């Protein structure tokens, strides 16, 4: 599925700083994400973790007054360059948002949206692609008999898995997840977490989460952000059992944040 196979990290940020108008939100972030791993970004509210995530596929370009410095490389593309084709970048970097946001179209059309938009497959191949993506998102068995029905009729957890299937429809290399479970109940959350575990065999995943147990459960690597700075980045088990920084320890043991 992934075209990129070179060595080196899937995502690499160097000296990345970000401003909302006069307010600086991120300060010189250096972070490298290895291919086919799950990286969790944790930190207190307002620490810039979502800002960082949304910079990788340049969703923040939509925010008026946003500007940034430094570089982010995504599978060999210089994501922040002026000349970078945003359509290609966003096709290769799928995103799943906090709240499920399916289009008010049929389940089929939701999953086929990206492939149709970017003309990835012929019309004849669309049903196969849709089935494949829904299977990958562990939704196929629940919806295979009602693909023509509106996606808005699904439950919240199903909608979020549909949004994951929709992102997979673009055949991306990277999946960005911005607190994908914050609007879901525990059972739906568990299903998404199992799904993330499955998906990392094929995709590089970066997940922002407020839930530290979730970060500990699903991720290989964890990055701890605080006040716009990357405080500590390391193997998840190490971060949660033997953090090097006292601020990391304070956060994960719940002494603040």
Residues that bind another protein (CB under 8 A): 57, 59, 62, 64, 86-88, 90-91, 94-95, 97, 99-105, 113-114, 117-118, 149-150, 152-153, 163, 166-167, 169-170
**Which among 186, 185, 49, 159 has a CA at the least distance from the CA of 96?**
159
- Nearest distance, CB of residue 119 and another protein, angstroms: 11
Count Cβ atoms below 10 Å from residue 117 Cβ, excluding itself: 12
Rounded-to-integer distance, Cα 103 and Cα 213, Å: 31
Residue (59 or 205) nearer to another protein, CB: 59
- Nearest distance, CB of residue 50 and another protein, angstroms: 12
CB 195 within 8 A of CB 164: yes
Backbone angles phi and psi of 234, in degrees to 5: -170, -175
- Nearest distance, CB of residue 90 and another protein, angstroms: 4
- Nearest distance, CB of residue 165 and another protein, angstroms: 12
Residue (105 or 135) nearer to another protein, CB: 105
- Nearest distance, CB of residue 154 and another protein, angstroms: 12
Residue (137 or 221) nearer to another protein, CB: 137
Count Cβ atoms below 10 Å from residue 83 Cβ, excluding itself: 5
Rounded-to-integer distance, Cα 123 and Cα 108, Å: 13
- Give per-residue burial for 173-204: e unless 16+ CB within 10 Å, then b: bbbbbbbbbebbeeebbebbbebbeebbeebb
- Nearest distance, CB of residue 133 and another protein, angstroms: 12
User: 25: Cβ–Cβ under 8 A, 6 or more apart, which residues?
Assistant: 18, 19, 48, 51, 228
Residue (111 or 216) nearer to another protein, CB: 111
Residue (118 or 202) nearer to another protein, CB: 118
CB 240 within 8 A of CB 211: no
Residue (102 or 243) nearer to another protein, CB: 102
């Amino acid at each position: 599925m992934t075209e990129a196979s070179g060595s080196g990290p899937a995502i690499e940020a160097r000296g990345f700083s970000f401003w909302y108008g006069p307010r600086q939100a991120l300060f010189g972030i250096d972070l490298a994400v290895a291919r086919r791993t799950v990286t969790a970004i944790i930190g207190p509210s307002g620490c810039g973790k979502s800002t960082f995530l949304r910079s990788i596929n340049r969703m923040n370009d939509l925010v008026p007054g946003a500007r940034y410095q430094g570089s982010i490389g995504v599978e060999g593309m210089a994501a922040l360059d002026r000349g970078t084709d945003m359509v290609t970048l966003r096709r290769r970097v799928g995103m799943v948002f906090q709240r499920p946001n399916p289009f008010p179209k049929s389940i089929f059309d939701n999953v086929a949206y990206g492939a149709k938009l970017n003309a990835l497959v012929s019309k004849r191949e669309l049903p196969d692609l849709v089935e494949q993506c829904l299977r990958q998102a562990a939704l196929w068995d629940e919806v295979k008999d009602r693909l023509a029905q509106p996606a808005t009729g699904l439950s919240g957890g199903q909608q979020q898995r549909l949004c994951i299937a929709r992102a997979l429809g673009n055949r991306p290399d990277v999946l960005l997840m911005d607190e994908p479970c914050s609007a879901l109940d525990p059972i739906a959350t568990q299903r998404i977490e199992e799904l993330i575990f499955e998906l990392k065999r094929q995709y590089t995943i970066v997940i922002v989460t407020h839930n530290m147990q979730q970060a500990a459960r699903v991720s290989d690597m964890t990055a701890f952000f605080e006040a716009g700075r990357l405080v500590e980045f390391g193997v998840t088990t190490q971060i949660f059992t033997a953090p090097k920084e006292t601020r990391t320890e304070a956060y994960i043991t719940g002494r603040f944040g």
